[in-house]
Homo-oligomer: A and B are copies of this chain.
Amino acid sequence: MVQRGRRTAKVSGDERQDAILVTAEALLGERAFDDISIEDLARGAGISRPTFYFYFSSKDEVLLALLDRVITEVEHRVGELPRDFETDPAGAWTRSIGMFVEVFVNHRGVATAAIAARARNDEVRALWSRSMQSWADFSTDIIRSEQARGAAPGGIDAHDLAVSLNLMNERVITAVLNQESPAIVESRALDVLSTIWIRSIYGSVNPGRP
């Protein structure tokens, strides 16, 4: 809201804070979070290490900020997803899962770093949880209504099923991104995941056409 006169010899605080985030995301593209030191981030942003602490209280705080952007994007996109499950269940699920895969791929470095940091940092864990939860709730609602209208069989709690399938997605996608073995080929991932979702939700191979 302020400034803009180009006579600010020193770059402003906001720009520096941003430079740190940009540096972090860039470095995460080439190596693991643990292999990036605060010194690296400071140098990348053109400041000294102590100055880094003026902007963030720790390296994890930087990751948290990065993750927060991603989470916001996911939540936004979950909200505007079409809910055409009654007419084309298979396609609708595939599009939903595809969105999830897309976000992971677009923010590969942040996603994998966050997943690793989750084990050690409470705030990262809480933030990630929140996102997983919102996605799981979204899936639970739909599964529940599919069961209610008789399109999907009962015999399993909708929430348990939704949580398990979402955790599967998280794990399978990170395995693909990290090129682990065993993993599956990236190009087939979306297809494989959708198939598992559909079969286990509908208890049949072709919901709608039995």
A residues engaging B (CB < 8 A)? 32, 34, 112, 116, 119-120, 125, 129, 132-133, 136, 153, 155-157, 159-161, 163-168, 170-172, 175, 180-185, 188, 192-193, 195-196, 199-200, 203-205
Contacts and interface: CB of A to CB of B under 8 A. Distances in A.
A180 B119 contact: no
Given A171-B167, A204-B203, A32 B120 contact: yes
Contact of A192 (B153, B164, B182): B164
B188 A157 contact: yes
A133 B188 contact: no
A120 to B, nearest CB: 6
B32 A119 contact: yes
Given A163-B175, A199-B203, 18 more contacts: A116-B120, A125-B180, A136-B182, A156-B195, A160-B184, A160-B185, A163-B182, A164-B168, A164-B184, A164-B193, A165-B168, A165-B196, A166-B182, A167-B168, A168-B168, A196-B200, A199-B200, A204-B204
